[in-house]
Amino acid sequence: GAGVSQSPSNKVTEKGKDVELRCDPISGHTALYWYRQSLGQGLEFLIYFQGNSAPDKSGLPSDRFSAERTGGSVSTLTIQRTQQEDSAVYLCASSFLSGGGHTDTQYFGPGTRLTVL
């Protein structure tokens, strides 16, 4: 079946502009995550959606970052007034959380490479 898809694959923008990044999770997956991967760094957690619960926004680096998940499926990460330090690969993952959360394997999309000039 289809995996997690993200669009666009690459985005170049000018400092100060707003950008929207899209994630289509695997159908039926209840949880959706956004991560940021900077060059030579690990994955930095940004935000987590689970079902109809309030999202965990604890990883968002500033109030310029926001995300929403419509209808429990597609998610959009928005970065307002982009800065050069926002340049990174933004990865989305989804998982099916069972009651006990025993494995909760996260399946990642290919990412969106954002370059802020």
Residues of this chain that bind other proteins (CB under 8 A) = 4, 31, 33, 35, 40-45, 48, 50, 56, 91, 93, 97, 101-111
Letter string b/e over residues 5-19, b meaning 16 or more CB atoms within 10 A of that residue's CB = ebeeeebebeeeeeb
Looking at residue 113, its amino acid is R
Q: CA-to-CA distance for 71 and 93, rounded, in angstroms? A: 17
Taking the complex as a whole, how short is the minimal distance between the CB of residue 41 and other proteins, in angstroms?
A: 6
- Closer CB to other proteins, residue 45 or residue 80? 45
Taking the complex as a whole, how short is the minimal distance between the CB of residue 55 and other proteins, in angstroms?
A: 12
Torsion-angle region of 63 (φ positive above 0: left; ψ -120 to 50: alpha; else: beta): alpha
Taking the complex as a whole, how short is the minimal distance between the CB of residue 100 and other proteins, in angstroms?
A: 10
